[in-house]
Amino acid sequence: MTRSLELRPRQRIRRTLLLVSLLAFPVTLYYFSPALIIMAGIQGVINGSFVVFAAMFVLSPLLGRLFCGYLCPAGGLQDCVATITTARPRQGRRNYIKYGIWGVWITAVVLVYALIDGHPRLDVLYETEHGVSVMAPQSYIVYYGIVLLIVVPSLIGGRRTFCHYLCWMAPFMVLGTKLGRRLRVPGVRILATPDRCRACATCNSACPMGIDVRAAVQTGGIFDAECIQCGSCVDVCPAQVLSYRMKGGTAGGQRTQTGLRDPRLVKP
Ligand code: SF4
Ligand code: SF4
């Protein structure tokens, strides 16, 4: 019998966390801002979004993309949109669009901070009103602009399209996770016992990122960079094929036909 995702306590907690994060978005917006980090750098300031992006990269070898699955306000917003459309966005090369955007942007950030004369000053609350991002009426124009940037692609392209194509935060965690695996840092993984799989594809339907989980299971786990480690596939699987584990390594395996890395081919 198929397990209902709605009944799983972990998924209830996850959705609650995402909803709280979404409701707090007017407060936290500037701490995720790709523009404010450049404005701050020009003024010789290390701002809140600098600290947040650095934390994402530094923690990702351990935590992977758990932030995307459990805490991201943009993720919460897109999961709300998913109640309207459950279409899967086209993937493949399109997923690399965000790396192109990120590459141009991070180059600008590095240049701005490299050109600071003297030591930068730490001001985590930079440009906020006592820590709150959106207070003044004009700030709401920026806020709703960002909301539209997240909502419209998902309405047109399908579930979590913004995460797939546009997110400037995902590359920090993807690169940090890959580096952690390369260095064999123990981190959160979703691993599988392929022999148990009944090939029912219930996991595919549950995956908000449109990953072919059923195929990935045959490689021993989910090693797709698009996986946000939400655990939906873990919780919906009727055969308990998948589970969260703390594990080191898995990078360096050979690519399978699905383009995923096969941990069985990784040297110990
Ligand atoms: S992993 Fe579980 S849900 Fe997915 S195809 Fe196999 S048995 Fe079905
Ligand atoms: S593969 Fe599983 S854990 Fe990863 S995004 Fe899809 S449902 Fe979530």
State which ligand 2 atom lies nearest to the alpha carbon of 206.
Answer: 7
206 CA to centre of ligand 2 in angstroms: 8
181 part of a folded domain:
no
Residues 25 and 133 in one domain: yes
Which structure tokens are listed for 116? Answer: 């600071």
What does the DSSP assignment read for 87-143?
PPPP-GGGGGHHHHHHHHHHHHHHHHHHT-SSPPEE-TTTTSBTTBS--SHHHHHHH
Residue 190, SS3? strand
The model's pLDDT over 197-253, given as tens digits with 9 standing for 90+, comes to 999 999 999 999 999 999 999 999 999 999 999 999 999 999 999 999 998 765 433
pLDDT of residue 168: 96
- pLDDT category, 90, cuts 50, 70, 90? confident
Of 117, 145, 176, which residue sits at a domain end?
A: 176
> Do 82 and 157 have their domain in common?
yes
With respect to residue 47, please indicate whether it lies within any of the assigned structural domains. yes
Are both 118 and 225 inside the same structural domain?
Answer: no
Question: Does residue 5 have a pLDDT over 80?
Answer: no
Mean pLDDT of the chain: 89
pLDDT for res 91: 78
Asked which of 162-176, 188-202, 243-257 is least confident by mean pLDDT, the reply is 243-257
The answer to whether the CB of 229 is under 6 A from ligand 2 is yes
**Per-residue pLDDT at 84:** 87
* 81 lies in some domain: yes
Q: Could you tell me the pTM of the whole model? A: 0.87
Q: Whose CA is nearest to atom 2 of ligand 1?
A: 237
pLDDT recorded at residue 7: 67
Helix (H) / strand (E) element for 188: namely strand 187-192
Taken as a whole, the chain contains a residue count of 268
Q: What is the pLDDT of residue 86?
A: 78
Tell me, yes or no, whether 129 and 200 share the same domain: no
Residue list, ligand 1 pocket, CB within 6 Å: 197-203, 213-214, 217, 237, 239, 241-242
**pLDDT tens digits for range 211-227:** 999 999 999 999 999 99
Q: Supply the CATH number for residue 223's domain.
A: 3.30.70.20
Residue 117's domain comprises: 5-176
Pocket of ligand 2 contains residue 228 by CB under 6 Å: yes
Backbone angles phi, psi at 138, to 5 degrees: -65, -25
* Residue 177: pLDDT band with limits 50, 70, 90: very high
Percent of the chain with pLDDT over 70: 90
Pair 58, 167 in one domain: yes
Identify whether residues 74 and 148 lie together within a single domain.
Answer: yes
Residues 109 and 33 in one domain: yes
Answer whether residue 261 shows pLDDT above 50.
Answer: no
Question: What value does the mean pLDDT take over residues 141-170?
Answer: 94
**Are 112 and 82 in the same domain?**
yes
- 91/156 same-domain check: yes
Please compute the mean of the pLDDT values over residues 173-185 and round it to a whole number. 94
Contact 92, 163 (CB under 8 A): no
Are 76 and 132 found together in one domain?
yes
Separation in Å, CA 191 to CA 11, 27, 187: 18, 36, 12
Which amino acid does the sequence have at 183?
L
Nearby residues of 213 by Cβ (< 8 Å), 6 or more positions away: 203, 204, 206, 207, 222, 233, 242
Kindly give the distance from the C-alpha atom of residue 207 to the centroid of ligand 2, in angstroms, as a whole number. Answer: 5
Domain final position from 128, 154, 176: 176
The average pLDDT across 140-158 equals 94
Residue 3 has pLDDT above 60, yes or no: no
Do both 35 and 149 map to the same domain? Answer: yes
Number of folded domains that form the chain: 2
Contact (CB, 8 A) for 220 and 258: no
Give SS3 for 153: helix
